[in-house]
């Protein structure tokens, strides 16, 4: 089975505490939103301590055109992606650096900005990848994108067992902020979203893993993608003249509680397993309420979501990127041979991406 070899990450320089962002929102919306004090409780109830933004807070007080924000997105997204890729391929946990020429395909994930030529082409002009590297840009999967990228890399490596595939996710959620949007969704997004990038390296069966890494790493056993029909309004963007306007349904935690368990059980049944066989849960931390919904849906103790909560506290919700931050922390742990794990992320559609992994 294809294996996850390495993950590298990158964040912008501006680390902003949650108290600072709450004060920012209070000043910006105090004259426009009734009961703002009640809404601002989400800043502390979500348990986020700090996040990273591409700009200082003062920049977000000003009005910026969609085109200006998108230009900023392209410049910063490329640079953050380069940082994550270098950290992935030159990780100190590898026995040797992976050369760029060894990468057969780049799967590029993002939802918070637009670029044609796509970001992967711009990255290939900065780093010495082979000119024949396959480029697979995927846009619009939101928070599910990081896990979906891993699933598509798994499928590529099943088809080409000698391949090494790089999944790169970058999201600059702060650049989607709308200072004139008075919706509850915008307040929640302001309390939750952040910026970052991550890169994950996946290798096919024919790759000599012993030459690359000496630690146990997760093999991807199976994957499952699911779309809930007639759920287009659960989460996503409304795209308007001024840019991207966030859409959040208040029903997301209850949807997770009712919908996720049957999806996980279907994936496990296909592999003759039960939820009780799962030792590790590598979940995208969409928010504190979503993590609690995971626990209730799957019968997991809080310890199973502790790593996801740690990432949420330190980095916020970086959309598609966040699950790869969680995965990076699992790759740093000493995990028993044969342990099973689930990688899980939920996104617009409404949709889920699940991967069953086993450490070997």
Tell me, what's the pLDDT at 170? 98
Q: Which domains does the chain have, with CATH numbers?
A: 3-211 (3.40.47.10), 218-359 (3.40.47.10)
CB–CB of 170/213 below 8 Å?
no
Model pTM score: 0.95
Q: Which residues of the chain have pLDDT under 50?
A: none
- Pairing between strand 134-139 and 105-110? parallel
> How far is Cα 297 from Cα 295, in angstroms, rounded to an integer?
6
Structure tokens at 354: 């699940």
Enumerate the active-site residues: 143
- Give 162-205 pLDDT, tens digit per residue: 999 999 999 999 999 988 877 778 888 888 899 999 999 999 99
Tell me, what's the pLDDT at 234? 84
- Give 218-254 pLDDT, tens digit per residue: 999 999 999 999 888 888 888 888 888 888 877 888 8
């Amino acid at each position: 089975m294809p294996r996850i070899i390495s993950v590298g990450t990158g964040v912008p320089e501006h680390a902003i505490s949650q108290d600072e962002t709450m004060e920012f929102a209070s000043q910006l919306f105090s004259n426009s939103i009734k009961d703002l004090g009640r809404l601002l409780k989400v800043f502390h109830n979500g348990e986020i301590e700090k996040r990273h933004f591409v700009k200082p807070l003062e920049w977000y007080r000003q009005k910026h055109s969609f085109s200006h924000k998108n230009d900023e997105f392209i410049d910063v997204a490329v640079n953050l992606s380069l940082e994550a890729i270098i950290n992935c391929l030159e990780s100190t946990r590898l026995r040797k650096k992976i050369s760029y020429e060894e990468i057969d395909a780049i799967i590029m994930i993002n939802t918070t900005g637009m670029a044609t030529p796509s970001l992967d082409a711009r990255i290939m002009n900065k780093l010495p990848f082979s000119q024949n590297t396959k480029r697979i840009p995927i846009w619009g999967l939101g928070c599910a994108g990081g896990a979906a990228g891993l699933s598509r890399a798994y499928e590529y490596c099943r088809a080409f067992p000698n391949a090494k595939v790089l999944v790169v996710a970058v999201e600059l959620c702060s650049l989607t902020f709308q200072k004139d949007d008075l919706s509850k969704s915008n307040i929640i997004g302001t309390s939750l979203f952040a910026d970052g990038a991550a890169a994950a390296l996946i290798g096919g069966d024919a790759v000599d893993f012993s030459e690359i890494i000496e630690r146990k790493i997760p093999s991807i056993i199976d994957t499952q993608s699911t779309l809930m029909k007639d759920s287009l309004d659960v989460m996503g963007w409304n795209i308007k003249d001024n840019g991207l306007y966030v859409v959040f349904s208040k029903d997301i935690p209850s949807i997770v509680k009712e919908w996720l368990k049957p999806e996980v059980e279907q994936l496990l049944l296909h592999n003759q397993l039960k939820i009780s066989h799962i030792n590790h849960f590598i979940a995208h931390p969409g928010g504190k309420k979503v993590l609690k919904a995971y626990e209730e849906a799957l019968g997991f103790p809080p310890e199973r979501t502790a790593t996801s909560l740690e990432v949420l506290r330190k980095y916020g919700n970086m959309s598609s990127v966040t699950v790869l931050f969680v995965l990076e922390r699992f790759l740093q742990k000493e995990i028993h041979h044969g342990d099973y794990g689930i990688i899980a992320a939920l996104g617009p559609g409404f949709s889920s991406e699940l991967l069953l992994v086993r450490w070997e």
